[in-house]
C-alpha cells in the first residue's frame, strides 16, 4: 500500500522536474529555493549547528546567491556532499550550485564538464607537523607517514611533490577532516596535508596550537570556487557576478550595515549601478535590479563574510593573505561593473 | 459415455492464449520478456541520452592512463606511475586478502565461541552469550570505527620506541618496546612484522604479462609435495591397520616428511628475517601492516564470528542427544565426542548458512571505506572514479567484479557442501 | 527376651556435605568441574576484571554539564585529578536532538513521534488479526506512549487531541469489530507520509486513490472483460491517474479545503528518524516484490524464473554500499534526462531492491518448508494458481518466514548506517561527523559512538528477542 505514496511522489517529481531543464536560473526561480551542494561538515567553511542552521564561508556565498535570485537569503537548501559524490551531484542536477572548497583544475573544467565561475578563496596545499618532530621543511619528510583526505586534488599533488624531490612517504588516506585531525593528533601520521586554510583552521582549534607548525612549503595552487554545470552560461553569470558584487562592495566600502544608507547617499556611479540605483545590471542577467543590494544586505561584503567566518578573531583565525583585495596586495579582483 | 473421450477440438481462438493453461504460460512468458526488453531498452536509451547530454563517452580506455596517486598497502608492485588498471588490481588484492583472512579467522573464532556457548561452565557460556548478542545487534560500521580508534589511540607512537642519547646515558628504557624477541613493533600506525628474505633466492621469471617469483613458487611446490607424500604415508598406515589391526607408528615420518624438505630448501636459499628497525620517522624494513587493514580485519572477524557462533550452536543443537549419549556409551571423552561424532554431523547443517556468512564477510570488506582502507571500492570505486569522473564505467566494473567474487565463492563452497552432505540413498 | 533393634522413628536427614550444597555445589558443578573448566573460569574472570578496571574510571568520571570538550576535560581534571579520563556526555545533552531527529525542526518533533507510535497501531492488526486481547494490549501501550511523548514534545493541542482520539477510537473498534482495524493499516502509509513530510493532506490521499481506482476497475471490469484484461486495465488506469490527474486534483482539492502541515524537506531528516524511515519503508515496499520474486523463482516458466534468479543473485552478489553509490551516482543515468528526485528517495529505491532480493530468499525458504501435500491439496480443490497461493500457500509460508523477515529487517536496519557514505545524516557516521566538526566538540569520538551503538543495541536486541519469541510461538506442527 505504501507503494502509492512512493509512486505518487515519483510521478510528481518526475513531472515537476520534467518541466524543468530549461535553465538553472528559471528552475531556481520556479522552485523558490536554491539547492546548494555543501560540505558534510568543515568548520568555518560549511557546517550545520545543533539546530541544523548552516554557517560558514562557502555557505554565505550560497546565501548571497539566494538573496540575489530570490530576494531571501534563507531560501537555500544545503545538500551535504562528500568528496566523492560532489561533482556527480552537480552534473546530475541534484544541486544547482556547488560551493564546497573545490579546486579549479583543467581536467575538472574540461573532462567533468563543469564550469568554475570564480575563485572565492586562493589556497595552496601545505603540511602541518608537530613541533617536537624537529622538521622545518617539507623536504625533510623522507619516510614520513602522511595523512591525506581522499577524493581531493591533494592526493595527486602529494604524489607529485614527493616524486619530484625523490623522497618516500607512507600515505594514510582518511575520509574527512575531523578524522584526519584525530589521526594526526594521536600521532598516527607524522604530518597532515591539506589546503593551508584547512591546516590553519585545524591548528587554531587544537587545544595545544603552539605545539604544531605549518611548514613553509606550499606545494600546489588550490583556487577554490563555486562550480556550476557546463553549458549554462546564464546561471554561471548570475553566480559569478553575485560573487563579484560582494568583492566590489568591499572595495567600495559598502557593508550589510550601511547598504541602504549608501544607496540613498552615494555619488559613485559604479556603486549606483551595483545597488541598482542606476542602470539595469540586475535585469540584464535575469534578476531583480536590486539583486546585488539584497545579496550585500543579507550576508555583507566579501570582507565581512571572511572576517565573520574564518578571519582573524574567529576560532579559525586566518589572515587575508592572498585573499586580500587587489588594492591591498591580494589577488581578489573584480572586473568593473559597467 | 463416449462423450468423455471427446476432446473439444475447437479451432484456435485468441482468448485461449489467456484462458487455456496449455498456452497461458507461453503468453505470460512472452509478455514478461517483451516488458523486460522494453525496460532494458528504455534504460539504455536514457543512459545514452544522459551520456550525450553530459558530453561523456562510455569506454574503458581510462584504465590504461597513469593513475597518479599512491596506495599504502600493495600486494602487487605499484607506483603512482602505474595505470588505473594496476590500481584496480592492487585494490582487488587488498579486498581478497582481507576477505581470505577474515573468513579463516571468523570461522575459527566462531566455532570456538559457538562450542563454548554450549559449555557447562556457567560463567563462560554467559560471557559468550554477551559477546554474541553485543556484536550481532550493533552495526558493523560501528565496530570498524571503534576498532580503528582503539588501535590508533591505545598504541604508542613510533617515537616512543626511540632511545635518545640522554636516555641511554641515564639508563632509562624507552616508553615502548618491541615484542616477540624484538621482532614485532606495534605502533599507532600499524604493526611492523619481520619480512622473509632470501640470500640466494631463485629470482623471478618474467612471463610478459606478470612476473613470477620463483622462490615463492619453489616453496609452494615443495610444501605441496610434502603434504602429498604425507597423505600417502597415512593412507598406507590405514591400509596396514585395516589388514592387521595394528596401526604402524607414523608421527615421526609425518613430521620428517612435512618439515624437513621445506627447512632444507629454506636453508639452501639462505632464509633469514628482516627485522623492522626504527629509522627516521618510522620503522623501516620488514612489512608494515597498516591499522586500517588490522582494524577492518578485526572488526569483520569479531562481527562475523558472532553470527558463525550462532550457526554452529544451532548446528550442534540440531544433532539429537542420542548421538552424544551413544558416544559416551562407547566410552569416548567429551572432547573426542565433539570432534568425532557431533561436529562432523553438525557440519551438514552448518555449511549452507556458513557460505552466506562468507559471502557477507566478503561483501562487507567494502566497508573499508570507513577506515579508508584502499580496497577495490577505495581504488577503482573511490579515487580512480573521482579523478577520472567515469562513474558509469567504474561502478559497473566494480559491481561486476564483486559479483564474480561472490559467485566464485558460492560455487566453491557449494561444491564442498555437496561433498559433505549425506548421499541420498 | 525378645530383643530387636529396629528403629521406630526415622533419623532426621543429615545436611548434605559442604561440597554438595548451596553456592559451593553450584560452583563445583558449573565453574570448576574439570581442569579445563577451571582454566576457562579463571580466564573469564580475568577478562571481566580487565574490562572493568580499564573502563570504570572513565565511566565514573562522566561529565553531564559542560558546553565544550575543553570545559569537560577541565571538569574531569578538577574532580578526578590531572591525567584522569572521563566520559563527556554533556555532548549528548546538546546534540541528542540531532542524533534522534536529524535537523527536523524541534517544534515539529511530535510528527515523527506520532508516526512512530501509529506504526505499531498499524502493525498490530496484521500481527494479531482479530485477536481482541492482543490488539487491546498493543493499542493501550501505543496510547500510553503517545500521551507521554507527545506531551513531552509539546505537540499542538489539536494534534494531541486528534491523535488520542484516533487511538481511543481504534481501541473501541478493536473491542467491537477487531477485523475492521485492518483498514487503519491500509490508510497508514498515506498518514505516515503526510505526518513526516507535511504539505497538503490531499497529496498522499489522492495518490492512494490511484490504488482504489486500480481495484475498482479490476473489480467492476472483470465480469465483462475477464480477469487478466481487467487487471491490465486497472494498472493502466491507475498509472494514468498518477501521471495526469494526480497533481491537478491535489491542487484543486487543496484550494477548496486547505488542510496542510508545515512541509519538511527530506534533507532535514537525519539520525534514527532517517534510519527508521529507510528501514521500515524499505522492508514494507520490498515485501510484495520479494513475494513475487520468490514465486518467480519457484515458477515453472523458464523466462520468469531466470529473470527472478538473475535479479536476486545480482543484488545479493554485490555489497550494499555499491548499490548506495549507484543510487547516488548512477541512478540518474538510467532515468530520462532531467529526471531528478532527492537522494533519500533514490536510496530508498535501491534499499528496497536490496531487501527484496533477501526477502525473496527468505520467503523461498518458507515456500520450500511447506509440505508438498499443501500444494497438492490446493490443486485437488481445483484452485487456480493465484487462489492457491493466496488462500493456501502464502499464508502458511509467510507465517513460517516471519522470524527470518524480522532478522532481515534487523540486518537492514543496521545497514542503514551505510547511507552516510552518500552524504546522508545517519546517526552513526553522518551526525557524528557533524558533531565532530562542531568547534566545541572537536576531538570527541568515544561518546557519540557509544551512545549511538547503545541505541542500536536496544532496538535490534529487542527485535531479535521478539523474533525468537515469535519463532517459538509459531513453531506448532511443521515437522
String of DSSP letters for C32-63: SSSHHHHHHHHHHHHHHHHHHHHHHHHHHT-B
**pLDDT (average), residues A199-222:** 84
Per-residue pLDDT band for A4 (boundaries 50, 70, 90) equals very low
**In the predicted model, is pLDDT for residue A27 greater than 80?**
yes
Query: In terms of domains, do B356 and B235 share one?
Result: no
Domain ranges of chain A: 2-121+224-328, 125-220
Domain boundary (B273, B301, B320) is at B273
Q: Which of A281-290, B141-150, B270-279, B394-403 has the lowest mean pLDDT?
A: B270-279
What is the spatial distance between Cα B255 and Cα A77, in angstroms, rounded to a whole number? 71
What is the spatial distance between Cα C6 and Cα C419, in angstroms, rounded to a whole number? 84
Classify domain A2-121+224-328 at the CATH class level: alpha beta
Q: Which domains does chain C have, with CATH numbers?
A: 18-94 (no CATH), 95-104+264-479 (1.10.3720.10), 200-261 (no CATH)
Is A74 an interface residue toward C (CB < 8 Å)? no
Which residue in the set B19, B43, B359 is minimally distant from C334, CB to CB? Answer: B43
B27/chain A closest Cα distance in angstroms:
27
**In the predicted model, is pLDDT for residue B363 greater than 50?**
yes
Query: In terms of domains, do B253 and B325 share one?
Result: no
No. of helices (H) and no. of strands (E), chain C: 21, 2
Q: Which chain C residue has its CA at the smallest distance from B405's CA?
A: C317
**pLDDT (average), residues B248-254:** 83
Secondary-structure percent of chain C, ordered helix, strand, coil, rounded to 5: 80, 0, 20
Is C8 an interface residue toward A (CB < 8 Å)? no
**In the predicted model, is pLDDT for residue C37 greater than 50?**
yes
Is C243 an interface residue toward A (CB < 8 Å)? yes
Radius of gyration of chain B (CA): 30
**In the predicted model, is pLDDT for residue C149 greater than 50?**
yes
* Predicted local confidence at residue A12, as pLDDT: 44
Cell for B364?
562487507
A174/chain B closest Cα distance in angstroms:
5
What are residue C30's phi and psi, to 5 degrees?
-100, -20
Q: Residue B34: inside a domain, yes or no?
A: no
Sign of CA dihedral A310, A315, A320, A325: positive
Domain spanning A125-220: CATH 3.40.190.10:
yes
Is A190 an interface residue toward B (CB < 8 Å)? yes
Query: In terms of domains, do B169 and B236 share one?
Result: no
- A5, C211: Cβ pair inside 8 Å? no
Q: Which chain B residue has its CA at the smallest distance from A159's CA?
A: B69
Query: In terms of domains, do B261 and B354 share one?
Result: no
**Which domain covers residue B209, as residue numbers?**
196-273
Burial of C267 (0-12, 13-18, 19+ CB in 10 A): buried
Query: In terms of domains, do B166 and B299 share one?
Result: yes
Residues of A in contact with C70 (CB under 8 A): 207
* Predicted local confidence at residue C477, as pLDDT: 54
Domain boundary (B246, B273, B300) is at B273
Evaluate whether ipTM surpasses 0.90.
no
Whole-Å CA distances, C308 to B353, B363, C358, C393: 21, 21, 12, 19
**In the predicted model, is pLDDT for residue B179 greater than 80?**
no
Comparing C350 with B269, the larger pLDDT belongs to C350
Query: In terms of domains, do B407 and B325 share one?
Result: yes
What is the spatial distance between Cα C386 and Cα C378, in angstroms, rounded to a whole number? 11
Q: How many domains does chain B have?
A: 2
* Interface test mutation site (partner B, options A100, A188, A228, A232, max chain B beta carbons within 10 A): A188
CB atoms within 10 A of CB A211: 12
Residues of C in contact with A310 (CB under 8 A): none
Domain boundary (B248, B273, B298) is at B273
Residues 6+ apart with CB under 8 A from C112: C101, C104, C195, C196, C273
- A159, B153: Cβ pair inside 8 Å? no
Query: In terms of domains, do B376 and B256 share one?
Result: no
Is C428 an interface residue toward B (CB < 8 Å)? yes
Q: Which chain C residue has its CA at the smallest distance from A185's CA?
A: C443
Sign of CA dihedral B386, B392, B395, B397: negative
A partners (3+ CB pairs within 8 A) are B, C
Query: In terms of domains, do B159 and B202 share one?
Result: no
**CA C355 to chain centroid:** 12
Residues of A in contact with B61 (CB under 8 A): none
**In the predicted model, is pLDDT for residue C103 greater than 90?**
no
Is A88 an interface residue toward B (CB < 8 Å)? yes
| Element at C319 (helix H, strand E) | none
Q: Which chain C residue has its CA at the smallest distance from B119's CA?
A: C37
- C45, B123: Cβ pair inside 8 Å? yes
Angle, in degrees to the nearest 10, between helices B122-136 and C22-30: 60
Residues of A in contact with C423 (CB under 8 A): 40, 79-82, 85, 89
Adjacency order of strands within the sheet including A191-195: A169-174, A144-149, A191-195, A125-130, A212-214
User: Taking the model in full, what pTM does it have?
Assistant: 0.86
**What value does the mean pLDDT of chain C take?**
85
C369/chain A closest Cα distance in angstroms:
28
Query: In terms of domains, do B261 and B302 share one?
Result: no
* Interface test mutation site (partner C, options B123, B136, B302, max chain C beta carbons within 10 A): B123
* Predicted local confidence at residue C130, as pLDDT: 67
By C-alpha distance, which of C105, C120, C287, C297 is closest to C192? C120
Cα angle value A297/A303/A309 (rounded, 5°): 90
**pLDDT (average), residues B92-105:** 93
What is the spatial distance between Cα C215 and Cα C223, in angstroms, rounded to a whole number? 13
**pLDDT (average), residues A9-18:** 43
Cell for C432?
557524528
What is the spatial distance between Cα B92 and Cα B27, in angstroms, rounded to a whole number? 44
Q: Which chain B residue has its CA at the smallest distance from C428's CA?
A: B142
What are residue B242's phi and psi, to 5 degrees?
-70, -30
CB atoms within 10 A of CB C324: 24
- C439, A205: Cβ pair inside 8 Å? yes
DSSP B89: H
B partners (3+ CB pairs within 8 A) are A, C
Query: In terms of domains, do B123 and B96 share one?
Result: yes
- C464, B25: Cβ pair inside 8 Å? no
Q: Which chain B residue has its CA at the smallest distance from C418's CA?
A: B141
* Interface test mutation site (partner C, options A38, A39, A48, A207, max chain C beta carbons within 10 A): A48
Is C186 an interface residue toward A (CB < 8 Å)? yes
Q: Residue B7: inside a domain, yes or no?
A: no
Which residue in the set A5, A41, A79 is minimally distant from C193, CB to CB? Answer: A5
pLDDT digits (tens, 9 = 90+) for C352-404: 999 999 999 999 888 888 888 888 898 898 888 888 888 888 888 888 888 88
- B280, A230: Cβ pair inside 8 Å? no
- C445, B149: Cβ pair inside 8 Å? yes
Comparing B156 with C281, the larger pLDDT belongs to C281
DSSP C310: H
**pLDDT (average), residues C1-19:** 78
* Predicted local confidence at residue A267, as pLDDT: 85
What is the spatial distance between Cα C384 and Cα C372, in angstroms, rounded to a whole number? 17
DSSP B174: P
* Predicted local confidence at residue C240, as pLDDT: 86
Q: Residue B393: inside a domain, yes or no?
A: yes
- A84, B382: Cβ pair inside 8 Å? yes
Whole-Å CA distances, C67 to A155, A203, A314, C310: 36, 21, 18, 55
Cell for B297?
580485519
String of DSSP letters for A59-117: HHHHHHHHHHHHS-TT-EEEEEE-TTTHHHHHHTTS-SEE-SS-B--HHHHHTT-EEE-
Three-state DSSP at B184 gives strand
Domains A2-121+224-328 and A125-220 share a fold: yes
Q: Which of A11-15, B53-57, C320-324 has the lowest mean pLDDT?
A: A11-15
A251/chain C closest Cα distance in angstroms:
31
> What residue has cell string 609425518?
B254
CB C206 within 8 A of CB C253: yes
Query: In terms of domains, do B369 and B295 share one?
Result: yes
By C-alpha distance, which of A96, A33, A118, A71 is closest to A276? A71
**In the predicted model, is pLDDT for residue B307 greater than 80?**
yes
Count how many residues are written for chain B: 425
Q: Residue B64: inside a domain, yes or no?
A: no
* Predicted local confidence at residue C359, as pLDDT: 92
- C41, B29: Cβ pair inside 8 Å? no
Is C334 an interface residue toward A (CB < 8 Å)? no
What is the spatial distance between Cα C373 and Cα C443, in angstroms, rounded to a whole number? 64
pLDDT digits (tens, 9 = 90+) for B106-158: 999 999 999 888 888 888 889 999 999 999 999 999 999 999 988 888 888 88
Three-state DSSP at A176 gives coil
| % of chain B at pLDDT higher than 70 | 92
**In the predicted model, is pLDDT for residue C2 greater than 80?**
no
No. of helices (H) and no. of strands (E), chain A: 14, 14
Antiparallel, parallel or unpaired: β B185-186 and B190-193: antiparallel
- CATH code of residue B161: 1.10.3720.10
**pLDDT (average), residues C264-275:** 87
Query: In terms of domains, do B292 and B373 share one?
Result: yes
Is A22 an interface residue toward C (CB < 8 Å)? no
Q: Which chain B residue has its CA at the smallest distance from C420's CA?
A: B370
Per-residue pLDDT band for A8 (boundaries 50, 70, 90) equals very low
* Predicted local confidence at residue C479, as pLDDT: 44
CB A81 within 8 A of CB C423: yes
Which residue in the set A5, A8, A315 is minimally distant from C439, CB to CB? Answer: A315
No. of helices (H) and no. of strands (E), chain B: 15, 9
pLDDT digits (tens, 9 = 90+) for C174-229: 888 877 888 888 888 888 888 888 888 888 888 888 888 888 888 887 777 766 77
Which residue in the set C304, C330, C337 is minimally distant from B392, CB to CB? Answer: C330
| % of chain C at pLDDT higher than 70 | 97
* Predicted local confidence at residue B6, as pLDDT: 53
- A142, B280: Cβ pair inside 8 Å? yes
Amino acid at each position: 500500500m505504501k507503494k502509492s505514496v512512493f509512486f505518487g511522489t515519483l510521478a510528481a517529481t518526475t513531472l515537476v522536474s520534467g518541466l524543468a531543464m530549461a535553465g538553472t536560473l528559471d528552475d531556481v526561480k520556479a522552485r523558490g529555493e536554491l539547492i546548494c551542494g555543501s560540505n558534510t561538515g568543515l568548520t568555518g567553511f560549511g557546517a550545520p549547528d545543533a539546530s541544523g542552521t548552516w554557517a560558514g564561508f562557502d555557505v554565505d556565498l550560497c546565501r548571497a546567491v539566494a538573496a540575489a535570485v530570490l530576494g531571501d537569503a534563507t531560501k537555500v537548501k544545503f545538500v551535504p556532499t562528500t568528496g566523492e559524490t560532489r561533482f556527480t551531484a552537480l552534473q546530475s542536477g541534484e544541486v544547482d550550485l556547488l560551493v564546497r572548497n573545490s579546486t579549479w583544475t583543467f581536467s575538472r573544467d574540461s573532462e567533468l564538464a563543469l564550469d568554475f565561475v570564480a575563485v572565492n578563496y586562493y589556497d595552496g596545499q601545505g603540511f602541518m607537523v608537530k613541533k617536537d618532530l624537529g622538521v622545518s621543511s617539507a623536504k625533510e619528510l623522507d619516510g614520513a607517514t602522511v595523512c591525506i583526505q581522499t577524493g581531493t586534488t591533494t592526493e595527486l599533488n602529494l604524489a607529485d611533490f614527493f616524486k619530484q624531490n625523490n623522497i618516500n612517504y607512507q600515505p594514510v588516506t582518511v575520509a574527512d577532516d575531523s578524522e584526519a585531525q584525530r589521526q594526526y593528533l594521536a600521532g598516527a601520521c607524522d604530518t597532515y596535508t591539506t589546503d593551508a586554510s584547512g591546516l590553519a583552521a585545524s591548528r587554531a582549534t587544537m587545544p595545544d596550537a603552539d605545539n604544531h607548525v605549518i611548514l613553509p612549503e606550499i606545494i600546489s595552487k588550490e583556487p577554490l570556487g563555486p562550480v556550476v554545470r557546463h553549458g549554462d552560461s546564464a546561471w554561471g553569470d548570475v553566480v559569478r557576478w553575485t560573487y563579484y558584487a560582494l568583492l566590489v562592495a568591499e572595495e567600495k566600502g559598502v557593508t550589510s550595515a550601511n547598504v541602504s544608507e549608501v544607496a540613498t547617499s552615494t555619488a559613485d556611479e559604479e556603486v549606483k549601478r551595483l545597488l541598482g540605483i542606476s542602470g539595469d545590471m540586475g535585469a540584464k542577467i535575469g534578476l531583480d535590479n536590486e539583486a546585488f543590494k539584497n545579496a550585500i544586505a543579507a550576508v555583507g561584503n566579501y570582507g565581512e563574510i571572511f572576517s565573520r567566518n574564518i578571519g582573524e578573531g574567529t576560532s579559525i583565525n586566518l589572515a587575508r593573505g592572498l585573499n586580500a583585495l587587489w588594492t591591498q596586495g591580494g589577488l581578489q579582483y573584480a572586473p568593473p561593473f559597467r | 459415455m463416449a462423450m468423455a473421450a471427446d476432446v473439444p477440438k475447437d479451432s484456435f481462438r485468441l482468448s485461449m492464449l489467456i484462458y487455456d493453461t496449455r498456452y497461458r504460460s507461453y503468453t505470460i512468458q512472452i509478455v514478461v520478456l517483451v516488458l523486460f526488453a522494453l525496460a532494458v531498452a528504455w534504460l539504455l536509451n536514457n543512459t545514452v541520452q544522459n551520456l550525450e547530454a553530459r558530453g561523456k563517452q562510455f569506454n574503458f580506455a581510462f584504465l590504461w592512463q597513469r593513475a597518479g596517486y599512491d596506495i599504502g598497502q600493495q600486494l602487487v608492485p605499484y607506483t603512482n606511475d602505474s595505470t588505473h588498471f594496476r590500481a584496480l588490481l592492487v585494490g582487488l588484492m587488498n579486498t581478497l586478502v582481507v576477505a581470505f583472512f577474515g573468513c579463516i579467522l571468523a570461522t575459527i573464532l566462531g566455532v570456538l565461541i559457538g562450542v563454548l556457548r554450549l559449555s557447562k561452565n556457567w560463567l563462560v557460556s554467559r560471557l559468550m552469550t554477551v559477546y554474541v548478542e553485543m556484536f550481532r545487534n550493533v552495526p558493523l560500521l560501528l565496530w570498524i570505527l571503534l576498532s580503528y580508534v582503539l588501535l590508533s589511540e591505545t598504541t604508542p607512537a613510533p617515537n616512543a620506541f626511540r632511545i635518545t642519547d640522554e636516555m641511554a646515558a641515564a639508563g632509562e628504557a624507552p616508553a615502548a618496546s618491541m615484542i616477540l624477541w624484538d621482532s614485532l613493533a606495534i605502533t599507532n600506525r600499524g604493526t611492523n612484522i619481520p619480512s622473509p628474505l632470501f640470500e640466494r633466492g631463485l629470482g623471478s621469471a618474467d612471463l610478459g604479462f606478470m612476473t613470477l617469483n620463483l622462490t615463492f613458487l619453489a616453496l609452494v611446490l615443495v610444501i605441496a609435495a610434502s603434504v602429498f607424500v604425507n597423505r600417502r604415508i597415512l593412507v598406507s598406515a590405514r591400509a596396514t591397520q585395516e589388514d592387521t589391526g595394528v596401526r604402524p607408528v607414523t608421527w615421526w615420518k609425518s613430521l620428517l616428511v612435512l618439515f624437513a624438505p621445506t627447512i632444507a630448501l629454506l636453508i639452501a636459499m639462505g632464509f633469514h628475517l628482516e627485522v623492522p628497525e626504527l629509522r627516521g620517522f618510522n620503522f623501516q624494513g620488514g612489512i608494515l601492516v597498516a591499522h586500517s587493514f588490522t582494524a577492518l580485519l578485526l572488526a569483520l572477524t569479531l562481527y562475523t564470528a558472532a553470527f558463525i557462533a550462532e550457526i554452529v550452536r544451532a548446528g550442534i543443537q540440531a544433532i539429537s542427544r542420542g548421538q552424544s549419549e551413544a558416544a559416551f556409551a562407547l566410552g569416548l571423552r567429551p572432547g573426542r565426542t565433539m570432534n568425532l561424532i557431533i561436529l562432523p554431523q553438525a557440519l551438514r547443517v552448518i555449511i549452507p548458512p556458513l557460505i552466506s556468512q562468507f559471502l557477507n564477510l566478503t561483501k562487507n570488506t567494502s566497508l573499508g571505506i570507513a577506515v579508508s582502507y584502499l580496497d577495490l571500492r577505495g581504488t577503482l570505486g573511490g579515487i580512480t572514479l573521482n579523478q577520472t569522473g567515469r562513474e558509469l564505467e567504474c561502478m559497473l566494473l566494480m559491481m561486476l567484479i564483486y559479483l564474480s567474487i561472490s559467485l566464485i565463492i558460492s560455487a566453491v563452497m557449494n561444491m564442498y557442501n555437496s561433498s559433505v552432505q549425506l548421499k541420498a540413498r | 527376651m525378645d530383643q530387636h533393634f529396629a528403629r521406630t522413628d526415622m533419623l532426621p536427614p543429615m545436611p548434605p556435605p559442604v561440597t554438595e550444597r548451596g553456592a559451593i555445589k553450584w560452583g563445583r558443578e558449573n565453574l570448576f568441574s574439570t581442569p579445563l573448566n577451571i582454566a576457562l573460569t579463571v580466564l573469564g574472570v580475568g577478562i571481566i576484571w580487565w574490562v572493568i578496571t580499564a573502563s570504570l574510571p572513565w565511566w565514573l568520571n562522566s561529565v553531564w554539564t559542560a558546553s565544550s570538550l575543553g570545559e569537560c576535560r577541565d571538569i574531569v581534571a578538577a574532580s578526578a585529578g590531572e591525567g584522569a579520563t572521563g566520559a563527556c556526555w554533556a555532548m549528548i545533552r546538546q546534540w541528542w536532538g540531532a542524533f534522534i531527529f536529524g535537523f527536523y525542526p524541534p517544534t515539529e518533533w511530535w510528527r515523527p513521534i506520532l508516526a512512530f507510535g501509529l506504526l505499531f497501531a498499524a502493525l498490530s492488526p496484521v500481527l494479531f488479526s482479530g485477536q481482541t486481547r492482543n490488539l487491546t494490549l498493543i493499542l493501550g501501550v501505543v496510547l500510553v506512549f503517545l500521551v507521554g511523548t507527545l506531551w513531552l514534545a509539546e505537540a499542538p493541542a489539536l494534534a494531541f487531541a486528534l491523535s488520542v482520539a484516533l487511538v481511543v477510537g481504534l481501541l473501541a473498534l478493536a473491542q467491537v469489530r477487531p477485523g475492521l482495524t485492518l483498514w487503519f493499516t491500509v490508510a497508514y502509509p498515506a498518514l505516515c507520509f503526510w505526518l513526516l513530510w507535511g504539505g497538503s493532506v490531499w497529496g498522499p490521499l489522492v495518490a492512494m486513490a490511484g490504488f482504489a481506482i486500480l481495484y475498482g476497475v479490476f473489480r467492476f471490469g472483470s465480469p465483462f472483460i475477464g480477469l487478466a484484461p481487467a487487471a491490465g486495465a486497472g494498472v493502466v488506469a491507475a498509472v494514468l491517474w498518477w501521471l495526469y490527474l494526480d497533481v491537478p486534483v491535489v491542487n484543486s482539492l487543496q484550494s477548496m479545503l486547505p488542510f496542510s502541515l508545515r512541509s519538511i524537506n527530506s534533507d532535514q531528516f537525519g539520525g534514527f528518524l532517517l534510519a527508521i524511515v529507510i528501514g521500515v519503508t524499505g522492508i514494507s515496499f520490498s515485501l510484495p516484490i520479494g513475494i513475487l520474486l520468490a514465486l518467480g523463482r519457484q515458477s515453472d516458466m523458464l523466462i520468469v524464473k531466470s529473470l527472478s534468479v538473475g535479479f536476486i543473485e545480482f543484488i545479493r552478489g554485490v555489497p550494499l554500499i555499491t548499490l548506495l553509490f549507484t543510487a547516488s551516482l548512477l541512478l540518474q543515468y538510467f532515468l530520462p534526462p532531467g529526471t531528478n528526485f532527492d537522494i533519500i528517495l533514490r536510496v530508498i529505491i535501491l534499499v528496497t531492491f536490496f531487501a527484496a532480493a533477501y526477502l525473496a530468499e527468505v520467503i523461498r525458504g518458507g515456500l520450500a518448508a511447506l509440505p508438498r501435500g499443501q500444494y497438492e491439496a490446493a490443486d485437488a480443490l481445483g484452485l487456480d494458481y493465484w487462489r492457491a497461493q493466496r488462500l493456501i500457500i502464502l499464508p502458511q509460508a509467510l507465517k513460517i518466514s516471519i522470524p527470518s523477515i524480522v532478522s532481515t529487517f534487523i540486518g537492514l536496519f543496521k545497514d542503514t548506517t551505510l547511507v552516510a557514505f552518500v552524504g546522508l545524516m545517519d546517526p552513526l557516521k553522518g551526525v557524528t561527523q557533524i558533531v565532530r566538526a562542531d568547534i566545541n566538540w572537536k576531538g570527541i569520538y568515544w561518546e557519540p559512538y557509544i551512545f549511538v551503538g547503545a541505541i542500536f543495541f536496544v532496538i535490534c536486541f529487542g527485535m531479535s528477542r521478539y523474533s525468537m519469541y515469535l519463532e517459538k510461538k509459531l513453531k506448532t506442527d511443521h515437522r
